[in-house]
Amino acid sequence: MSDLYLKLVNTPVGKTAAQSLGLPSPVPLKRLKRVDQPFIEGDVLIGSAAGGKAVATIGSILSSSAAKLHHAAGINSLADSSMAGNKANALGLDQEITQKFSALIFDATGIKSPDELRALYDFFHPTIKKIAGNGRVLVIGQTPSSCRKAPHAAAQQALEGFVRAVGKEIGKKGATANLIWMAPAAEEQLDSSIRFFLSPRSAYVSGQCVRIGKGTTAPATNPVAPLTGKVALVTGASRGIGAAIAETLARDGATVIGLDIPPAMEELQKVTDAINGKALACDITDEAAPKLIADFAEEHFGGIDLVIHNAGITRDKTLGNMPEHFWDMTIAVNLSAEELIDEELTERGLLKDNGRIVCISSISGIAGNFGQTNYSTAKSGVIGYVESMAKHLKNGITINAIAPGFIETQMTAAMPMTIREAGRRMNSLSQGGQPVDVAEAIAWYCNPASSGVNGNVVRVCGQSLIGK
Ligand code: NAD
């Protein structure tokens, strides 16, 4: 489904008309063009509050990029507001800032009290207007639940409000703002997440807060094909988001088992043939489905590494008008089937060490949606399932969820026009996402270097105005 408004508003006449009518002017988002392209280029400014624990790691990760790095000094001394006169000099930069920054990265792990939040203002106030189109703001903090004292936890939690507000201010440039909350001494786990949030792979991810734990030691991987040797199951892979996930995981080196209902076999076969994968016809709500899937994975590959529960349906009706089979089907496909498949795979020991489970929730599961009590219930349940399972999985296996916002697929193309148009515009980037945006976030979760990313729900929604 193409977004004609986005195309029109990026013509000279369309731009002028949109501006004069006060209509949103979404900027086309830059997505990955080649797997071997540098994760970030251009001028990048790195700053840190006093006592920042991540700044050295950030610098060393960025040194492998194509970016020109600038390190801001003097953030602490700026607590004295009288110094804010020549802001560039106060930040330790050579001259008044003239260049556009492709990223502003701030290590806030050292912030221990509300007073020290001033360091955010001191770093971002003189620089935020210099963020480039499609630029990135990334803040690294310490997970609030790991802070023993209340002022410390308050200051770290405060970073969430800051980042979400920044995302709303810079979204009109196609730029994003995100927060990584790191567990103490988890610096080694930052690599895959910093690369993801700074790169075009996260084009439609903004206003998100990710918690990173200590994980397991990351094995060395091929940077352009980190999933080499992994076997992935993708449900609902014949079209839309599922097809994009299958293609993206295959691009990153995985062998993909694409699964879909029998009537979708022709479409599914096209997807799996193109990526040298295998197609499996199966309705995941059939009683026999978990065993069928597990047998298939065992017979062909001796097990499975990555399980992506993407298949989903909507059956919308207001609650009082909803037939019971609408309720039952929606809960079964979107929630119960996932649990039963995982149970079969884990009980039979077929989910390999360092495996990954990824579930698809929805902003409807976070905020609720009119006419979708069944779907919102199921997608909210997905979040509860992920958060609970994350505490119990062993052997380096992680589980996370993606909550897509408005993604351009056949599911959203079927929406009434006014609702579809509202869904597209009601986010900081004023446009819908593409299936590949969800797929890229899943590839980040699946990366062997993302073992510290566990129990998270990341929205791929352009920072939708709906929900948290
Ligand atoms: P889609 O309708 O285009 O594709 C869903 C796929 O799941 C289809 O190929 C379908 O045949 C398959 N499927 C449905 N029931 C199945 C069953 N019982 N067994 C096996 N396969 C089954 O949907 P999409 O837009 O690509 O959405 C993919 C996922 O993302 C879904 O879980 C959906 O709820 C979620 N999501 C989508 C959006 C969006 O904006 N498109 C937003 C939030 C969440």
Cα–chain center distance at 112: 27
Nearest CA owner, ligand 1 atom 32: 312
Mutational pocket test of ligand 1: of 204, 235, 316, 409, the residue with most ligand atoms within 8 Å of the beta carbon = 409
The closest-lying atom of ligand 1 relative to the alpha carbon of residue 264 is 11
Confidence bin at 429 (pLDDT 50/70/90): very high
ipTM of the complex: 0.99
For ligand 1, the distance from its centroid to the CA atom of residue 313, given in whole angstroms, is 5
pLDDT in tens, 87-135: 555 676 655 677 899 999 999 999 999 999 999 999 999 999 999 999 9
Q: Residue 242 C-alpha to ligand 1 middle, in angstroms? A: 7
Considering the candidates 5, 121, 204, 375, report the single residue annotated as catalytic. Answer: 375
3-state secondary structure of 357: strand
187-196, 220-229, 320-329: segment of lowest average pLDDT: 220-229
Ligand 1 centroid to Cα of residue 411, in Å, is 7
Which atom of ligand 1 lies at the shortest distance from residue 289's CA? 19
Check pLDDT > 50 for residue 281. Answer: yes
Q: Whose CA is nearest to atom 12 of ligand 1?
A: 236
CA 354 – CA 456 distance, rounded (Å): 16
In this prediction, residue 181 carries a pLDDT of 98
Buried b (16+ CB within 10 A) or exposed e, 449-462: bbbbbbbbbbbbbb
Ligand 1 atom closest to Cα of residue 284 = 19
Query: DSSP secondary-structure letter at 231?
Result: E
- pLDDT score for 93: 66
Please tell me the CATH code under which domain 39-212 is placed.
3.40.50.720
Q: Name the closest-CA residue to atom 6, ligand 1.
A: 236
| Alpha carbon nearest to ligand 1 atom 44, residue | 362
Give me 47's structure tokens.
């700053």
Instruction: Say which CATH architecture domain 231-460 belongs to.
Output: 3-Layer(aba) Sandwich (3.40)
Distance from C-alpha of 104 to C-alpha of 242, rounded to nearest angstrom: 33
Between 92 and 188, whose confidence is greater?
188
DSSP helix, strand, coil percent of the chain (3-state; round to 5): 45, 20, 35
Tokens in use for 42? 């251009």
Say if residues 10 and 431 touch (Cβ distance below 8 Å).
no
CA of 401 to the centre of ligand 1 (A): 15
Q: Whose CA is nearest to atom 19 of ligand 1?
A: 283
Least confident range from 131-140, 205-214, 459-468: namely 459-468
The pLDDT, as a whole number, for residue 11 is 75
Instruction: For residues 226-235, give the mean pLDDT.
Output: 98
The helix/strand count (H/E) of the chain reads as: 17, 13
pLDDT of residue 419: 85
Instruction: Tell me: pLDDT of 183 over 70.
Output: yes
CA 312–ligand 1 middle distance (angstroms) = 4
Nearest CA to ligand 1 atom 3: 240
Atom of ligand 1 nearest to the CA of 285: 18
Report the separation in Å between the CA atom of 58 and the middle of ligand 1, taken as the mean of its atom positions. Answer: 37
Q: Which of 257, 285, 335, 411 should be mutated for ligand 1, with most atoms under 8 A from CB?
A: 411
| Residue nearest atom 37 in ligand 1 by C-alpha distance | 404
Which atom in ligand 1 lies closest to the alpha carbon of residue 263? 11
The pLDDT tens digits of the residues spanning 42-84 come to 999 999 999 999 999 999 999 999 999 999 975 543 333 333 4
CA-CA distances (angstroms) from residue 4 to 14, 372, 464? 11, 27, 20
Which residues pair with residue 138 across a beta bridge?
Answer: 105, 178
Could you say which DSSP state residue 29 is in? P
* Residue 385: active-site member: no
Our mutation pick for probing the ligand 1 site, out of 234, 245, 260, 284, counting the most ligand atoms within 8 A of Cβ, is 260
- Ligand 1 center from residue 311 Cα (angstroms): 4
Record the pTM.
0.94
Tell me, in angstroms, the distance from the centre of ligand 1 to residue 409's CA: 9
Which residues have CB under 6 Å of ligand 1? Answer: 235-236, 238-242, 260-261, 264, 283-285, 310-313, 333, 360, 362, 404, 406-407, 409-412
The yes-or-no verdict on residue 255 having pLDDT over 50 is yes
Are residues 295 and 392 in contact, defined by beta-carbon separation less than 8 angstroms? no
Q: Is the pLDDT of residue 352 over 50?
A: yes
Pick from 267, 101, 94, 260: nearest CA to 173 = 101
Looking at the DSSP bridge assignments, the partners of residue 398 are: 356
Cα-to-centroid distance, 52 and ligand 1 (Å): 42
Q: What's phi and psi for 356, nearest 5 deg?
A: -135, 135
Average pLDDT over residues 353-376: 97
Q: How long a stretch of residues is the chain?
A: 468
CB atoms closer than 10 angstroms to residue 165:
12
| pLDDT surpasses 50 at 227 | yes
Two tokens, residue 295: 């047998």
Which atom of ligand 1 lies at the shortest distance from residue 309's CA? 32
Q: What is the pLDDT of residue 17?
A: 64
pLDDT number for residue 90? 60
Best mutation site among 282, 285, 313 for ligand 1, i.e. most ligand atoms within 8 A of its Cβ?
Answer: 313
> Of all atoms in ligand 1, which is nearest to the CA of residue 410?
3
- DSSP one-letter code for 187: G
How far is 461 from 384, CA to CA, in rounded Å? 20
Which pLDDT score, from 0 to 100, does residue 396 have?
Answer: 95
When pLDDT is averaged across residues 266-284 and rounded to a whole number, the result is 98
Residue pair 39/67 in contact by the 8 Å Cβ criterion: no
pLDDT of residue 81: 38
Report pLDDT for 12: 72
Q: List, by residue range, all CATH 3.40.50.720 domains of the chain.
A: 39-212, 231-460
Higher pLDDT: 19 or 186? It is 186
